Amino acid sequence: MAGFVSFVSSGPGDPELLTVKAVDRLKKADAILFDDLSAGPILSHAKAGADLVAVGKRAQRPSPKQQAVSRLLLDFAQTGGHIVRLKSGDGGVFGRLEEELVALRSADIAYEIIPGVSSACAAAAAAGIPLTRRLTARRIQFITGHDNNGQLPEDINLSALADPGATTIVFMGKRTFSQLQKQLEQHGLPPNTPALLAEAVSTPQQTLTRTTIKALAEQLEGDISTSPALILYGPLAEGAGG
């Protein structure tokens, strides 16, 4: 008989940001397939004897293909038991969740989805700012900084991304932000628009860099660390403190 899969979102990295439900599922799991950013202290909640399998994908690093991850998840689920697919941040935000859901549905395997703290929310909290601001930041938009080929997506809505009344959060965008910034400036977004680079959010390695989109683009043209990062820009970032 097929098992049951819990898609558990682990948050940005701090184990104290796990939800109560997430901890419960980790403790009950017979096998945990975990993302790279969900390793470490978070896995201390796994029960003794549980299979722990790393399936994380990181940009510019050797990583398993999504099809292989989905196939492995099916293989574990079809042996029975309780399987946890542990995803970093919130798995529904650029977490390749849908491909794995489709695989389980095609095999008629039951599942649940447990949301988590998005790294975007954690980055704003770490910087001491809200994600919205009355009158000046009425809208939030999350985008990915690269397509399947590692390049800036060609079909992004630049008019929306250059909206001075929106808070924009770029996931996985360090390598393409310089190109994006040039296009944003061409669409009217001032080069002195406030920006925040948040790396390794909620971990001991966390760094927050407050700057402008132009200065950040110039910085990232020549010095890109390997730390996972978010870029936040818009009217919100100018109030960053802490």
Q: Could you confirm whether 14 is annotated as catalytic?
A: no
Write down the catalytic residue from 14, 30, 35, 90.
35
Q: What b/e string do you get for 181-195 counting C-beta neighbours within 10 Å, with b at 16 or more?
A: beebbeeebeeebbb
Catalytic status, residue 57: yes
Q: Which of 21, 24, 28, 57 is catalytic?
A: 57
35 among known catalytic residues: yes
Q: How far is CA 194 from CA 16, 33, 212, 239, in A?
A: 30, 38, 4, 9
N-to-C CA span, the chain: 52
Q: Which residue among the candidates 30, 90, 163, 172 is catalytic per the annotation?
A: 172
Active site residues per annotation: 35, 57, 172
